[in-house]
Amino acid sequence: MTRRLTIVASWLGATCAATLLVASGVGTIRDATRRDATLAAPAAAATTGGSRATSGSRFGAPETTEVVVASPSAVVATTTIPQPTAINASATPTSTTSPIANAGPPPVAVLPPPTLGPTAATATITISSTGGTVTVRSSASNVVVVVSTPSPGFTTLVEQRGATAIRVEFKSSSHRSRIEAWWDGGSRHDVREDS
């Protein structure tokens, strides 16, 4: 009888410990997803709906991204992102946002799948061109197209150029838009328009 009570007590203890561990993991993932949603929404708002988005420097200097919003009252938003010097896994990410007046419909945030343990730096950006719009998620380990939407009359060609680089071309009979995105210590991209 004592042996059975010991087995049942051990089983109950292990079950309680496992339940607490799972609840803790789910809470961590839920909190990370909420934090990512609040960080991704301003970035998506700043890059959604623009007619052109480019980034300048590939190495060293801070990256400046200019977004021109196509609307009756055009708004230009410029963001300077300093190059990271070191990654501190215990640091809490911060975000500074400023509203963009008359920027169109609200953005749709695309979130990366949740991960357990320390999270790697990732960026999800939307890049617009004459030929269409592409949303890219990038990190130090990969760059992937989340969604690409060609403008009317254009076709889309996606070319993976290694794990951390991708090219998207939108072509029509009279125009070609080429978007290249890559990871180099941060998310980088270039837009080229050819008529």
User: How confident is the model over 120-179, as pLDDT tens digits?
Assistant: 689 999 999 999 999 999 999 999 999 999 999 999 999 999 999 999 999 999 999 999
Instruction: Say whether pLDDT at 194 is over 80.
Output: yes
Cα separation, 103 vs 42, whole angstroms = 12
> Taking Cα atoms as reference points, which of 183, 83, 85, 79 lies closest to residue 138?
183
pLDDT of residue 178: 96
CB atoms within 10 A of CB 41: 17
Answer with the residue of higher pLDDT: 25 or 138: 138
State the pairing for strand pair 155-160/122-128.
unpaired
The pLDDT of residue 63 is: 46
Indicate the DSSP class of residue 143.
E
Strands (E) across 40-164 are located at: 50-55, 63-69, 76-81, 122-128, 132-139, 143-150, 155-160
pLDDT given at position 111: 60
Q: What pLDDT is stored for residue 62 in this prediction?
A: 46
Residue 3 has pLDDT above 60, yes or no: yes
Secondary structure of residue 193 in the 3-state scheme: strand
Closest CA to 166 of 194, 130, 193, 127: 127
Gap between the Cα atoms of 183 and 188, Å rounded = 6
Centre a 10 Å sphere on the Cβ of residue 3 and count the other Cβ atoms it contains. 7
pLDDT at 126: 96
